[in-house]
């Protein structure tokens, strides 16, 4: 039996169990990760995040060759114990955790490179919390039909990859969004091979105020079910609504999720258009348990 110290944190209500494991000595199996995330028999969370020095995890060592300053790696898994490439809310909470654990110092305005299974992510400390440059994005997997409970007819979704896969579906009204039953996974036809996080969005009317596009969103996450927020999902939602709105649409977005509001910004870079996510990061309590 080993004693495991953990910290509970969240970003706009998307909550995580965080474990500090600098030397990569805690080998959490998918079953143990799911146990930590279990809201009845464990600590409870939408995901489990292990903080490990990059040179102590194979996926991290690969990144260090090109990004030697990515000293820390975010080992993220969903509530069911499945690994995911990236977690937008999670990486903000992860950096806050590294700071509070004394693993790094990060002055306001400074940034830190973090290794993830989606590559190296630069995270900046800002007044409202943190901003993560999620990098390049791409349309992904066409337009699967999406069926969900209480959705009268199947709707075409837009596949977008922001390091992890998403399918974004436009709904007609806030009422339709509220009425949606996301207690079971939406059915995608054809089903993407690696599954997908599914976001349901309602563009505000008017869509743009003071140059900022506004969206309301709910999400059913791959491996976690409905969550109060999804950072990469908010990014995918803004990219999809901008795609549908056409060239006049802005590059600055506010995405309202049940757990709060996230900022999304698209910007030109040498390697092509990149996208950044900003929002709060909170640490709520600490504890220990025996594994
Ligand atoms: N909550 C996360 C997304 C987790 C994505 C995960 N469910 C997947 O399998 O890709 C976020 O804030 O971006």
Backbone angles phi, psi at 115, to 5 degrees: -80, 140
Number of compact structural domains in the chain: 2
Residue 195 CA: which ligand 1 atom is closest? 9
Q: Is 224 touching ligand 1 by the criterion CB < 6 Å?
A: yes
Is 124 in the same domain as 231?
Answer: no
Q: Is 154 a member of any domain?
A: yes
Same domain, 131 and 148: no
Over residues 101-156, the pLDDT tens digits come to 999 999 999 999 999 999 999 999 999 899 999 999 999 877 899 999 888 889 99
- Determine the pLDDT at residue 150: 84
Residue 102 lies in a domain: yes
Domain that holds residue 186: 138-267
- Are 21 and 92 found together in one domain? yes
Helix (H) or strand (E) holding 131: strand 129-136
The pLDDT, as a whole number, for residue 134 is 97
Contact 122, 277 (CB under 8 A): no
152 and 91 in a common domain: no
Q: Is there an atom of ligand 1 within 6 Å of 232 CB?
A: yes
84 Cα–ligand 1 center, Å: 7
169 plus 255 within the same structural domain: yes
Q: State the helix-helix crossing angle for 231-245 and 88-100, rounded to 10 degrees.
A: 140
CA dihedral 105, 44, 35, 183 (to 10 degrees): -130
Q: Evaluate: CB of 77 within 6 angstroms of ligand 1.
A: no
Same structural domain for residues 127 and 14?
yes
Judgement on whether residues 29 and 112 belong to the same structural domain of the protein: yes
Q: b/e map of 7-37 (b: 16 or more CB within 10 Å)?
A: bbbbbbebbbbbbbbeebeeebeeebbbbbb
How much of the chain is helix, strand and coil, in % rounded to 5? 20, 45, 35
Query: Are 51 and 123 members of one domain?
Result: yes
Inter-residue contact 149 to 181 (CB < 8 Å): yes
Q: Is residue 52 part of a domain?
A: yes
Q: Which residues are catalytic?
A: 87, 230
C-alpha to C-alpha distance for 180 and 194, rounded to whole angstroms: 24
Q: Where does the pLDDT of residue 248 fall: very low under 50, low under 70, confident under 90, or very high at 90 and above? A: confident
Question: Is residue 219 situated within a structural domain?
Answer: yes
pLDDT given at position 142? 74
Q: What mean pLDDT comes out for the span 148-175?
A: 94
**122 and 146 inside one domain:** no
| Ligand 1 center from residue 87 Cα (angstroms) | 5
Residue 257 reports pLDDT greater than 80:
yes
pLDDT digits 0-9 by tens, 187-242 = 999 999 999 999 999 999 999 999 999 999 999 999 999 999 999 999 999 999 99
**Mean predicted confidence (pLDDT) in 251-270:** 98
Is 30 in the same domain as 117?
Answer: yes
Does the pTM exceed 0.90? yes
Residue 274 lies in a domain: no
Q: Does 262 lie in the same domain as 174? A: yes
Q: Model ipTM?
A: 0.92
Would residue 74 count as lying in a domain? yes
Alpha-carbon distance 130 to 52, whole Å?
Answer: 20
Query: Distance between CA 62 and CA 79 in Å, rounded?
Result: 26
Please work out whether the CB of residue 84 comes within 6 Å of at least one atom of ligand 1: yes
Residue 262: inside a domain? yes
Instruction: Give the CATH number, domain containing residue 108.
Output: 3.10.310.10
- Same domain as 59, residue 117: yes
CA–CA gap between residue 187 and residue 149 (Å, rounded)? 9
pLDDT at residue 291, rounded to an integer: 82
User: CA 188 to CA 49: how far, in whole Å?
Assistant: 28
């Amino acid at each position: 039996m080993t004693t495991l110290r953990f910290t509970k944190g969240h970003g706009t209500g998307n909550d995580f169990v965080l474990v500090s494991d600098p030397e990569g000595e805690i080998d959490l199996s998918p079953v143990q990760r799911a146990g930590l995330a279990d809201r009845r028999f464990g600590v409870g969370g939408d995901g489990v995040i292990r903080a490990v020095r990059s040179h102590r995890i194979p996926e991290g060592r690969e990144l260090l060759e090109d990004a030697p300053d990515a000293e820390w790696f975010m080992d993220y898994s969903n509530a069911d114990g499945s690994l995911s490439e990236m977690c937008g809310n999670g990486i903000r909470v992860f950096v806050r955790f590294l700071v509070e654990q004394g693993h790094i110092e990060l002055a306001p305005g400074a940034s830190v490179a973090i290794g993830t299974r989606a590559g190296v992510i630069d995270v900046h400390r800002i007044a409202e919390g943190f901003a993560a440059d999620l990098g390049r994005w791409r349309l992904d997997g066409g337009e699967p039909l999406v069926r969900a409970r209480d959705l009268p007819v199947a709707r075409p979704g837009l596949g977008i990859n922001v390091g992890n896969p998403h399918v974004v579906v436009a709904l007609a009204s806030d009422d339709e969004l509220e009425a949606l039953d996301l207690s079971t996974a939406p059915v995608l036809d054809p089903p993407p091979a690696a599954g997908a996080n599914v976001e349901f969005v309602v563009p505000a009317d008017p869509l743009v105020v003071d140059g900022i596009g506004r969206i309301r969103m709910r999400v059913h996450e791959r491996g976690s079910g409905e969550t109060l927020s999804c950072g990469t999902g908010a990014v995918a939602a803004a990219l999809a609504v901008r795609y549908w709105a056409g060239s006049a649409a802005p590059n600055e977005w506010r995405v309202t999720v049940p757990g709060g509001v996230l900022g999304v910004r698209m910007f030109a870079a040498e390697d092509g258009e990149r996208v950044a996510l900003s929002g709060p990061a909170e640490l709520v309590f600490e504890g220990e348990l025996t594994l």
